[in-house]
């Protein structure tokens, strides 16, 4: 073992009794340490395999861990429990309450129920799927953090409405003997607190507990683990506080930072060698993350010798930035390289719109780790397109319904009772309300104006001449969201419309792009010979020879919504995760202008550079 593992790995693998916190930096071999230690407990210390519990955060990680462990053991039968928190806690509830798979609410059931509740409370929204997801996300957050519903401030609707929806959702599940994934944690916690006999039985069952990715744990998960590990406290946790990037899901990196407050006698081990990245990448990433204050200080060394320096570049625009990446990929391919050597990372999944369009244009195959939304299917895009269709001569009722009150014109749906619309008939409907009729006349004038414009000029006119931007301000205020998020969609649309002379040309481009995107979604993961596209969040745990992080600018990295110190530190951790995906070459690209506005280079660039 000494030859295959370094000193700190040997120390972690050899740990036997009592609590242990193992800090595992990127590429430090933590999976090997967890599986080898599990083997060691059985072969060296003669622990019964059925008394060992290994917890991971994803099913895929649990399966990989189990496969590697069985391979180490020579593929015999060893009843070690490998599973996610939810899988382990559900098996506990199965024994206590005779639950089975039918008691778990299905995703589609959950969404259908929430759609009903949202409609019942007559909440206004534009994108139903996005709104329902947001409400369900908030319910999950309340359960995972253990915060009282009375003290929770909803970001989607008024507090009293959110509390009612929360109560009705919970009541429905209760009446139908259903639980969701978050209930698995809440119910296990309550079960262990109320039934010491049941807790004691599970403590005897799981005498040795190992947890992977401990930095992602939330409060209720850790509270259950602490109960389960007692009284022996044979708790072996592995993680990297510098890679904790899921606070929005309830993860609390401070639980790892204060592990020794809960377990003062815990052994602390640092896996200090990065086997993945070249020296320059390791050193640049350490300079960056060293700017965070709330962290364990670590000295990480690269196993690999010096390679190519990190490439820092600033481009005038996104178009130039993308052109350089495409040139790099094509040059690499001309020299006999592979598409899968490349990954392009970004902060949000709305960023890569132009990038994807250009990759399609140059026939460069790509795969997406996230389902990147199609800009042209956003409700704002549908509004803009409806205005343009009317300007092209469409008189379909469905197009007018989309835009008649954007901005507010106080026009009723009842005024459109025919499948097609005639402006003179429409005005006549409001003869007793001349102020509404005037607005219809103004709309008719605006439509005539739009009929003479290019797509780019039209979007500008819809926003500022017709008043769509004001509508966005009112909508954002009602939905408690930042209006900049809506302006961003409009600016992306303007960016896309640039260079098209007619609406028809732009619509054909949209149609082609949408069809190609659907093809890519269908082939997801079927074509590994492609460039990887991923958000910083979803790149975690992956590695590539060449990594490009694009648009490294203030307002994007760190994200504009990160204001408090702990939010900026989380953004820095996210950037650190992105940097440490690179094995051979790291490219950090910034731009001077974003959506026609000057933009500052991110502080993260400066922080990662040699002083």
Burial of 490 (0-12, 13-18, 19+ CB in 10 A): buried
> pLDDT tens for residues 532-590?
999 999 898 889 999 999 999 999 999 988 888 989 999 999 999 999 999 999 999 99
Structure-model confidence comparison of residues 425 and 499, the more confident one: 499
Residue at which a domain ends, from 163, 178, 193: 178
Same domain flag for 174 and 189 = no
Domain count within the chain: 4
> pLDDT tens for residues 60-87?
899 999 999 999 998 778 999 999 999 9
Same domain flag for 48 and 191 = yes
For residue 193, name the pLDDT band (cuts at 50, 70, 90).
Answer: very high
Does residue 290 sit within a domain? Answer: no
Question: Which residues span the domain enclosing 485?
Answer: 376-508
Query: Residue 313's beta-bridge partner residues?
Result: 589
Phi and psi angles of residue 124, each rounded to the nearest 5 degrees, phi first: -90, 135
Q: Is the pLDDT of residue 462 over 80?
A: yes
Share of the chain above pLDDT 70, in %: 99
pLDDT of residue 543: 93
Mean pLDDT, rounded, of the chain:
91
Q: Whose CA is closest to 222, among 460, 153, 566, 213? A: 213
**Residue 142 belongs to domain with CATH number:** 1.10.10
CB neighbour list of residue 73: distance below 8 Å, 6 or more residues apart: 39, 42
Find where tokens 């975690």 sit.
540
Same domain flag for 385 and 421 = yes
Burial code (b: 16+ CB inside 10 Å, e: under 16) for 330-340 equals eebeeeebebb
Q: Is the pLDDT of residue 1 over 60?
A: no
pLDDT of residue 421: 75
- The annotated binding site is made up of 24-31
**Mean predicted confidence (pLDDT) in 596-605:** 91
> pLDDT tens for residues 313-346?
999 999 999 999 999 999 999 999 999 999 999 9
Same domain flag for 45 and 93 = yes
**Residue 28 belongs to domain with CATH number:** 3.40.50.300
- Whether pTM exceeds 0.75: yes
CB-based contact 367:452 (threshold 8 Å): no
> pLDDT tens for residues 145-171?
878 888 888 888 888 889 999 999 999
Range of 34-43, 122-131, 482-491 with top mean pLDDT: 34-43
- The annotated binding site for ATP is made up of 24-31
Give dist(CA 270, CA 9) in Å, integer.
8
Does residue 522 sit within a domain? Answer: no
Same domain flag for 400 and 464 = yes
Q: Is the pLDDT of residue 216 over 60?
A: yes
Does residue 136 sit within a domain? Answer: yes
Same domain flag for 427 and 575 = no
pLDDT of residue 524: 65
Residue at which a domain ends, from 271, 288, 314: 271
Residue at which a domain ends, from 153, 178, 203: 178
Does residue 295 sit within a domain? Answer: no
CB-based contact 483:473 (threshold 8 Å): yes
Count how many Cα atoms sit within 13 Å of the Cα of residue 606 in the half-sphere of its side chain: 7
* SS3 state of residue 81: strand
CB-based contact 247:570 (threshold 8 Å): yes
Same domain flag for 360 and 410 = no
Give dist(CA 223, CA 162) in Å, integer.
27
Phi and psi angles of residue 553, each rounded to the nearest 5 degrees, phi first: -130, 155
Same domain flag for 74 and 223 = yes
CA-to-CA dists, residue 553 to 76, 351, 432, 537, 606, angstroms: 52, 12, 54, 17, 11
Q: Is the pLDDT of residue 4 over 60?
A: yes
Same domain flag for 21 and 89 = yes
pLDDT of residue 373: 79
Handedness of CA 56, 58, 61, 66 (dihedral sign): positive
Q: Is the pLDDT of residue 417 over 80?
A: no
């Amino acid at each position: 073992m000494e030859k295959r593992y370094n000193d700190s790995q040997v120390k972690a693998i050899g740990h036997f009794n009592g609590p242990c916190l193992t800090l595992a930096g990127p590429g430090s071999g933590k999976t090997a340490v967890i599986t080898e230690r599990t083997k060691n407990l059985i072969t060296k210390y003669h622990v019964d395999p059925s008394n060992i519990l290994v917890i991971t955060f994803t099913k895929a990680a649990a399966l990989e861990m189990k496969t590697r462990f069985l391979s180490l053991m020579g593929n015999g039968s060893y009843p070690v429990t490998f599973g996610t928190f939810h899988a382990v806690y559900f098996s506990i509830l199965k024994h206590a309450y005779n639950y089975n798979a039918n008691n778990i609410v299905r995703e589609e059931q959950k969404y259908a129920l929430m759609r009903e509740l949202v409609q019942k409370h007559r909440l206004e929204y534009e994108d139903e799927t996005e709104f329902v997801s947001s409400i369900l996300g908030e319910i999950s957050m309340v359960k995972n953090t253990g915060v009282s519903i009375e003290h929770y401030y909803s970001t989607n609707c008024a507090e009293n409405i959110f509390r009612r929806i929360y109560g009705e959702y919970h009541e429905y599940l209760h009446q139908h003997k259903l639980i969701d994934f978050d209930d698995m944690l809440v119910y296990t916690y309550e079960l262990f607190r109320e039934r010491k006999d049941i807790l004691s039985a599970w403590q005897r069952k799981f005498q040795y507990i190992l947890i992977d990715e401990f930095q992602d744990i939330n409060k209720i998960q850790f509270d259950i683990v602490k109960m389960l590990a007692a009284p022996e406290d044979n708790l072996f946790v592995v993680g990297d506080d510098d890679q904790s990037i899921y606070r929005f899901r309830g993860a609390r990196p401070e639980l790892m930072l204060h592990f020794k407050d809960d377990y003062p006698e815990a052994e602390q081990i640092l896996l200090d060698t990065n086997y993945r990245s070249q020296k320059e990448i390791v050193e640049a990433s350490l300079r960056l993350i060293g700017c965070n204050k709330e962290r364990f200080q670590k000295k990480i060394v690269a196993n690999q010798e010096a390679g190519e320096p990190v490439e820092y570049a600033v481009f005038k625009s996104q178009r130039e930035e993308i052109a350089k990446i495409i040139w790099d990929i094509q040059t690499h391919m001309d020299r006999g390289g592979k598409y899968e050597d490349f990954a392009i990372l970004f902060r949000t999944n709305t960023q890569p719109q132009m990038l994807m369009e250009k990759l399609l244009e140059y026939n460069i195959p790509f795969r997406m780790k996230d389902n990147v939304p199609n800009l042209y299917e956003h409700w704002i895009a549908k509004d803009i397109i409806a205005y343009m269709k009317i300007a092209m001569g469409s008189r379909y009722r469905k197009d007018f319904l989309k835009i008649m009150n954007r901005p507010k014109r106080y026009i009723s749906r009842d005024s459109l009772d025919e499948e097609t619309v005639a402006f003179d008939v429409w005005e006549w409907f409001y003869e007793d309300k001349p102020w509404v009729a005037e607005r219809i006349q103004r709309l008719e004038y605006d439509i005539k104006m739009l009929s003479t414009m290019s797509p780019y000029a039209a979007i500008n006119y819809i926003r500022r001449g017709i008043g769509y931007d004001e509508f966005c301000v009112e909508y954002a205020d009602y939905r408690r969201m930042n209006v900049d998020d809506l302006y961003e969609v409009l600016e992306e649309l303007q960016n896309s419309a640039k260079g098209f002379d007619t609406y028809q040309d732009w619509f054909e481009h949209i149609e082609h792009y949408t069809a190609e995107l659907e093809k890519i979604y269908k082939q997801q993961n079927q074509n590994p010979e492609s460039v990887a596209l991923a958000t910083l969040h979803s790149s975690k745990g992956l590695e590539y020879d060449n990594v490009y992080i694009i648009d490294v600018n203030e307002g994007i990295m760190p994200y504009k919504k990160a204001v408090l110190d702990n939010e900026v530190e989380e953004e820095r951790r996210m950037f650190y995760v992105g940097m440490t995906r690179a094995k051979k070459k790291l490219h950090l690209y910034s731009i001077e202008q974003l959506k026609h506005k000057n933009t500052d280079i991110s502080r993260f660039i400066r922080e990662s550079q040699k002083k």
